[in-house]
Amino acid sequence: MTAAAGVLTGADGAGAPSAGGTSAGGTSAEELLARALEVIDRQSARIGELTRQNAELRELVARQADQLAEANATIAVLQRMLFGRSSERAGPAADGDDAGAGDGEKPGSEKKRVKRGPRARSGRRGYPGLPRFEVFWDFEGGGYCCPQCGEPFTPLGTHLSGEQLDWQVIIRLVANCRRRYKRECRCPGPATVMAPGPPGAIGKGLFTNGFIAMLLTERYAAGRTVNSLVTGLARQGAEISPATLAGTCGQAGALLVPLADAIAERNRESWHLHADETTWRVLAPGDGAGPQKWWLWVFSAP
């Protein structure tokens, strides 16, 4: 803001502002300054009000964001409880397969089209987690000679022609031989000692701990019956009765009771409800109609 102050001219010709000078419009400098200060005060008050409103809006947005996140989490939990993933209906996901690829794709879509049909090839999967065993193949007798003059060829290294999966099931008889030692000194104590034997989960059982672990895995994780296990073991040369396998499963099951109790306690304290259903074959429901299919529902909750 610029004001033209009045100027008094003295006898010496020097100009000095008058105490009551006015501008060209007749407004004094004090009035202009007062007006300017009043405008500044109003603007400062307006800025303060806008700052307060901005802080309130930011706080409101933060509260709404928290409420939205909580609502989304609740919706996700309810959806999982109501529309949980069904293992019976969900098919295996193919590697590199696009679920949305098909005839209904929009033109210009960037999704990779996967060829399907009898001539489609999905590529061979790698197995880096399996132990690798190299087998070298050579001509009969080793080496190769020229069929014309008989001059032997010079070795040129090896060529990796491909990799194959090999399936070997070995049932072996482990003979546990414990070392014995005899005392040579005259100190008091036993004259002979014997090294401890292998650790056994079931006393003096017939099977090693590894065999019992594989038995439980095949029986309950893979769902194989006792008769199927007996047939498979007999094919490998181990004739074992079904009663022996059933008794081993029962003894091993007693050892797993603490683990089963810990799993049940963990399920009860979980944040969602565990439920399962399975068929239950009932021989005589009461009317003597014979075997019928019932359903067994299991709920695990507090």
The domains of the chain are located at 201-255
Structure confidence at residue 280 (pLDDT): 82
If DSSP codes are grouped into helix, strand and coil, which group holds residue 230? helix
Cβ 269 vs Cβ 262: under 8 Å: no
- Binning pLDDT at 50, 70 and 90, where does residue 11 land? very low
Is the confidence at residue 14, as pLDDT, over 50? no
Distance separating alpha carbons of residues 63 and 95, to the nearest angstrom: 42
- Interval 29-72: pLDDT, tens: 888 899 999 999 999 999 999 999 999 999 999 999 999 999 99
* 182 CB burial (10 A radius; 0-12, 13-18, 19+): exposed
Distance separating alpha carbons of residues 139 and 126, to the nearest angstrom: 29
Name the helix (H) or strand (E) containing 278: strand 274-282
Structure confidence at residue 233 (pLDDT): 93
Find all residues with CB under 8 Å of 279, minimum gap 6, and list them.
Answer: 293, 294, 295, 296
CA angle, 206 then 227 then 91, to 5°: 115
Structure confidence at residue 98 (pLDDT): 46
Distance separating alpha carbons of residues 226 and 214, to the nearest angstrom: 13
Biggest alpha carbon–alpha carbon distance for the chain: 140
Residue with tokens 């880096």: 128
Structure confidence at residue 6 (pLDDT): 41
Closest CA to 249 of 294, 272, 286, 219: 219
- Interval 135-182: pLDDT, tens: 888 888 888 888 889 888 888 888 888 888 888 888 999 998 989 999
**Side chain identity, residue 267:** N
Between the two ends of the chain, the Cα-to-Cα distance in Å is 78
Cβ 277 vs Cβ 87: under 8 Å: no
Q: Tell how many helices (H) and how many strands (E) occur in the chain.
A: 5, 6
Distance separating alpha carbons of residues 206 and 244, to the nearest angstrom: 9
Give the relative orientation of helices 257-268 and 242-255 as an angle to the nearest 10 degrees. Answer: 60
Name the helix (H) or strand (E) containing 60: helix 29-82
Higher pLDDT, 119 or 230: 230
